[in-house]
Amino acid sequence: MNIPSGDPPQLFFSPHHTPPPRSSLRRRLVAISGWCCLVLALGLWGVLRFADSWPVATVVMFAPLHLVALLPGALLVVAAAFHRRALRTLVPAFVITVGPVAEFCVPWAGASADGVPTGARLRVLTCNAHYARMSAAPLEALVADARPDVVVLQEWNSKNRSEVLTAPEWHTHRDSGHFLASRYPIRRVEPLGNQSAGTQGSVTRYALDAPAGAVTLFSVHLASPRDGLSEVAKGGTFGFDNILANSELRWIQSRNLADWAGRVDGPVVLAGDFNTPPHSDIFRQVWGEYENAFASAGWGWGHTFIVRVAAVRIDHVLVGGGGRASACWVGPNIGSPHRPVIADVAWPVGGLKAP
């Protein structure tokens, strides 16, 4: 074939049809992934607003939501290296999944100098022992380290005897699965319900004679959704019906408990296994006026029930009567699927009344 000497050779491929560089494709994938993460984060945040009012949202609420933050977290590193413009979607996606979705807590209240009352203080330790035959040593070590004023346990096995908590410096009481050890005298005990699956829940009210005055303490154990969640996990057709029934029961139990607590004149603490994560519509509507100790003074995820891949915060310390929490943390494994919760709570000077 003869090519004229003055003419350039014809190319078989136009430059406009050249496959895009690998780096361009990589940036495009990162950008698309960023938008997908943001849509997922906003979607989960929206769905969780209906938890305990819509069974699907309730199932999502009990999922290990902290794992959702892994994807945007990993993509943040990729975007920082290859496509920084994608950070505009990945940063908010990561913040939403870590915060509103997965409920990572930062103790902003404790950072405020005037946020915590300077009056009478009380350190509370609560844990659902799950009727486990566990050694007393881990609990006793925790008590020796944390030095709580009050230890309140639910589903306490009568065979789990602690030499520390029955020592002379403690005032103790046990009934219907609840165990209380208090450094202060127990003036009154009133069982309000003895079945966690009953409409009253399993709740005991105590009146404690603290140095500065009376404190009313409720030991709480509400109905568990485990049966419905297990059925959904197995693909059972009636799992969502069971979850809806459990949510309705916890609504009734929570309203009954709030009614009892609302009649208290003075400082009040509600501690125990609510079987209800903070996302729940129950928490917003029933417990919104109470201080949630970990939400306001804790650091991290605060998971209190950990089994296999499940990790959720369902054990709480709530404070009423004008009280606030200055610190709250989750203790180590003491032999139960539930982790202990320790909280420092306080009320304003003059907030406690004589018993």
CATH of the domain at 183: 3.60.10.10
Does residue 210 share a domain with residue 167? yes
- 222 pLDDT band, cuts 50/70/90, is very high
In terms of domains, do 283 and 333 share one? yes
Mean per-residue pLDDT, 223-244: 90
Please say if the pLDDT value at position 223 is more than 60: yes
Give percent above pLDDT 90 in the chain.
71
Amino acid 96: pLDDT? 96
Cα–Cα dist 346/343, whole Å: 10
pLDDT at 1 exceeding the cut of 70? no
- Within-domain flag for 8: no
Residue 274 counted as domain residue: yes
Are 219 and 341 found together in one domain? yes
Residue 4 lies in a domain: no
Tell me, what's the pLDDT at 109? 62
Burial of 139 (0-12, 13-18, 19+ CB in 10 A): buried
Q: Please identify, among 45, 76, 101, the residue that sits at the C-terminal boundary of a domain.
A: 101
Q: Which residue has the higher pLDDT, 60 or 117?
A: 60
- The region of weakest confidence among 76-85, 153-162, 201-210 is 153-162
* Distance, CA of 323 to CA of 302 (rounded, Å): 21
- Domain total in the chain: 2
Residues 66 and 173 grouped into a single domain: no
Q: Which of 170, 153, 105 is nearest to 300 (CA)?
A: 105
Q: Are residues 88 and 190 in the same domain?
A: no
Among 75, 101, 127, the domain-final residue is 101
Average pLDDT, the chain: 88
How far apart CA 94 and CA 69 sit, in angstroms, is: 6
For residues 123 and 212, membership in a common domain is answered with: yes
Q: Are residues 115 and 87 in the same domain?
A: no
- Which of 49, 84, 101 is the last residue before a domain boundary? 101
DSSP 236-287: -TTHHHHHHHHHHHHHHHHHHHHHHHHT--S-EEEEEE-S--TTSHHHHHHS
Residue 113 sits in the same domain as residue 94: no
Strands in the chain per DSSP E = 121-128, 150-154, 171-175, 178-182, 186-194, 202-210, 213-221, 268-273, 291-292, 305-307, 310-312, 315-320, 324-330, 341-346
List, in order, residues 6 or more apart from 72 with CB less than 8 Å away. Answer: 34, 37, 41, 90, 93, 94, 97
Q: Rounded to the nearest 5°, which phi and psi values hold at 91?
A: -65, -50
47, 182: one domain: no
User: Apex CA 128: angle with CA 124 and CA 131, to 5°?
Assistant: 140
Q: What is the pLDDT of residues 131-188, one digit of tens each?
A: 877 788 899 999 999 999 999 999 987 777 777 888 889 999 998 789 999 999 999 9
Domain that holds residue 23: 17-101
Q: How much is the pTM?
A: 0.88
Q: Which residue, among 220, 213, 146, 144, has the nearest Cα to 180 in the 3D structure?
A: 220
- The 10s digit of each residue's pLDDT in 87-134 is 999 999 999 999 999 999 998 765 554 566 666 789 999 999 988 777
